[in-house]
Structure 1
């Protein structure tokens, strides 16, 4: 089977969920979805989609329309409904913003900022005990992890333990996690007076799960490099990539 095709098992599961969102079950629905996945996987411009998927403009319009309706976020939320939130790991990663992502016409902040890597966005991610995505936020690349962490933590429902690296060593973050009923495992910096006595290092070492999730998400080139002008559309791409990590579950 070509790499751009969905297996029958995965398409059957995906179609059942998509039709819950009042999509019209037209004959070309599968090819449209596969065209969107092809673009996500390869990062090609919409105009360069192979003819197999139909008219590129029709595929793009479907993606954009469904993005406006929040369909991809809904898909992600349905698939992660039975998430294991005993442990939650958080971190952030830079995403290079391609030159085609600049110049959005609406005049709103599209979360592209200057960092040491140039024009970037930042993907802030929380994963569960199995290393599967739970929630994420998108900011400009100039936004510090600590600054965005409280907003990210607020999106996590009923987690028991929050684990992060020492870049998140902030009393505000600790207080936020504890206020939401979480035990917080964040190592303190070397200059900390309190130190790390009694720190749960074995559990902290599992923090590689969030790094692994970033590595899996960035196998999709439209996630690893931001081509979308609108934050809304890039969030949809990330939601779809997260959904596909959950789809085999």
Structure 2
């Protein structure tokens, strides 16, 4: 019997969210969801799912349909309840794209880019003051943090402080953050003539909270290495992993 992810307590809570996003309560629902999480955790091909979870093709079709209808993203959004928005930490992390992630139809969006590490995808993440994920986006691995930051920050809720590393050192971005009512805590690069006297280094040290989320997400091997061909499917995997982090809250 493969190890499963959900206790009865967690499943009852998760099932309520599933029903709220119009995923139907079929007799095999828990079995199907456990199969999706098993594949996320192990990183195996869909065809190699143990028979315990039912026919692999049925599990994959459910996952793909829910992804297409954006229901898996809605599950994550439903679980983000009352985040602590005193601080927001933002950062990006690159993941390698496995050769099995190539080959998508040309009209489908993949966001797999070429970088120094080869074929990669970058996850841009925002977490609250408790270290819980509240928003994310994915781009090609070659996309610099500063390039994605304006659109990413625009979608974040109001906060008192927004903390990021030197990769986000941009004066227009600082202005955008202040216009949202937050104070940016972003160190300037070494060649800056302004310096970092205004940086709250004590608060900046808590930036490890966003790194911790990346570490937890990459316990799922289907996130640590990207196997999904389509952007929406990879986003759905990340959304489910973020939802699982929120589940005990």
TM-score relative to the length of structure 2: 0.97
Assess, with a 3 A threshold, how the Cα gap between structure 1 residues 72 and 128 changes in structure 2: closer, same or farther: same
List gaps (5 residues or longer) in structure 2.
none
**Cα offset for 1:103?**
1.2
Q: What's the counterpart of residue 31 of structure 1?
A: 31
SS at structure 1 position matched to 2:239 = helix
**Cα offset for 1:192?**
1.2
Q: What's the counterpart of residue 220 of structure 2?
A: 220
Q: What's the counterpart of residue 61 of structure 1?
A: 61
**Structure 1 stretches (4+) deviating beyond 4 angstroms?**
none
1: CA distance, partners of 2:83 / 2:106 = 36
Aligned length: 249
Verify: 1:83 aligned to 2:83, yes or no: yes
SS at structure 2 position matched to 1:88 = strand
TM-score relative to the length of structure 1: 0.97
2: CA distance, partners of 1:167 / 1:5 = 35
Contact between 2:108 and 2:230, CA under 8 Å: does it hold in 1?
Answer: no
2: CA distance, partners of 1:190 / 1:99 = 37
Q: Which moved more, 1:76-85 or 1:1-10?
A: 1-10
1: CA distance, partners of 2:130 / 2:3 = 26
**Cα offset for 1:30?**
0.4
List gaps (5 residues or longer) in structure 1.
none
**Cα offset for 1:167?**
1.4
Q: Which moved more, 1:187-196 or 1:239-248?
A: 187-196
SS at structure 1 position matched to 2:119 = strand
Q: Which moved more, 1:133-142 or 1:152-161?
A: 152-161
Q: What's the counterpart of residue 70 of structure 2?
A: 70
Assess, with a 3 A threshold, how the Cα gap between structure 1 residues 30 and 120 changes in structure 2: closer, same or farther: same
